[in-house]
Amino acid sequence: MVNGAWVSLETEEAIDEHVVDTAALIPPYKVLGLIHKEVVAVNFGFLGLRKKPNVPRRFRSGITPDTVDLIHPIIANLIASGKASMAELDSVYPVSDAVFMADVLVVDSVNQAKAQEAAIAEAKAKGR
């Protein structure tokens, strides 16, 4: 930020001018690389601890679902399910919350499928 305005760092010249190690020990491109690494760790570090929900093979299909251009499937799923609006995902929820909410939806769907499967098996057993 320079004089209260964001500065684009799309060119080497802009990086050299605005990304500075105040101790003058690290070149600007390396400073930017370290900043980028830290931003990724802060925003996505939780993924290293995340255990993806297990969806049993019998509940998976071979279809490739349609997607919306420029909207990640996790975001689309949260919006379609009514769990969050685009505005909330943009301003209220961090990435980690969105991913964990999507995981909750997957686990809930798997549990519903298992319950339905068990009810069908029970009904068949009683019908014999």
Q: Are 14 and 8 in contact (CB under 8 A)?
A: yes
The domain ranges of the chain are: 12-46, 54-127
Distances (CA, A) of 15 to 9, 69, 83: 5, 31, 40
pLDDT in tens, 44-85: 999 999 999 999 999 999 899 899 999 999 999 999 999 999
pLDDT at 110: 97
pLDDT digits (tens, 9 = 90+) for 13-40: 888 888 888 888 988 888 888 989 999 9
pLDDT band for 115, please (50, 70, 90 cuts).
Answer: very high
Q: What is the pLDDT of residue 7?
A: 87
User: How far is 115 from 106, CA to CA, in rounded Å?
Assistant: 14
- Both tokens of 31, joined, read 């400073």
Q: What is the pLDDT of residues 87-109, one digit of tens each?
A: 999 999 999 999 999 999 999 99
Contact 18, 9 (CB under 8 A): yes
pTM score, whole prediction: 0.70
Which pLDDT does position 1 carry in this prediction?
75
Distances from the Cα of 109 to the Cαs of 91, 101, 113, in angstroms? 27, 12, 6
Q: How far apart are CA 70 and CA 72, in angstroms?
A: 7
CA–CA gap between residue 118 and residue 115 (Å, rounded): 5
CA distances from 99 to 48, 95, 103, 115 (A): 13, 6, 6, 24
